[in-house]
Amino acid sequence: MNIVIIEDESAIADTLIHVLEMDGFQAHWFNTAGAGVAHLKTKSADLLILDVGLPDGNGFELCKQIRGFSDIPIIFLTARADEIDRVVGLEIGADDYVTKPFSPRELLARVKLRLKSIRRQAQPECEQGQDELRVENFDYVRGNTALGLTALEFRLLDALLKSSPRVLSRQQLMDFSSMPSEEAYERNVDSHIKSIRNKLQKVALAECLKTKRGFGYYFEKE
């Protein structure tokens, strides 16, 4: 999933990018309204995190402009905490309003809630049946689409699917996948999980591979 951030404070943007990418999202940051809008007009995105106070424009006006060509979910992230600002932000088309200082985990939860709501309106992403994941030639396939997993990614996803919905720690994933000793460290597991999530996007199952903060990962089947 692609998240666009329009925010002029680099420290805040860095925090958002870190939190989002650790959870499997792709984040694209722009520090001006002009650059952000130009991107949104030419590239697809799944959600926008938008600051109100930007160096080249007002976030409220920018939101109205974006609503003229896109229905992308918009979450305002701003220091303007007055009730009238929150009301205005929601009335002009934003989906949520978060004030600074903010909790990165809370903002991540709000992002996932908005995206989950949209997916439910479209179709259940983790539905099984004829379109369930199956093994072919040491790869996982859904419908006619193969994920294109590496040998190690295949073993990691295989362990998660066979253990579903149980949470597996990074150490358990390293053990179950027989990760080579020179690669067996927890940060490397995170990198492989991110790659698997990206490949699951091809078959609309990326959101089924979930993170349990402080514990590990699990695959949720509906």
pLDDT at 12: 94
Question: Across-strand partners of 146?
Answer: 141
* pLDDT tier for residue 127 given thresholds of 50, 70 and 90: very low
Q: At which residue do the structure tokens 């990206």 appear? A: 198
- Tokens standing for residue 118: 């949209």
- Compute the average pLDDT of residues 65-75: 89
Does position 56 have pLDDT exceeding 80, yes or no? Answer: yes
72 pLDDT more than 80: yes
pLDDT at 47: 93
Question: HSE-up of 97 (CA within 13 Å, CB side)?
Answer: 20
Q: CA 131, CA 42: separation in Å to the nearest integer?
A: 32
Whether residue 109 has pLDDT greater than 60: yes
List the alpha helices (DSSP H) in 43-145.
59-67, 83-91, 104-122
- The mean pLDDT value of the chain amounts to 84
Note if the pTM is more than 0.75: no
Architecture of domain 2-120 in CATH?
3-Layer(aba) Sandwich (3.40)
Domain residue ranges in the chain: 2-120, 134-219
Name the architecture of domain 134-219.
Orthogonal Bundle (1.10)
Q: Which helix (H) or strand (E) holds 13?
A: helix 10-22
**CB 46, CB 2: distance < 8 Å:** yes
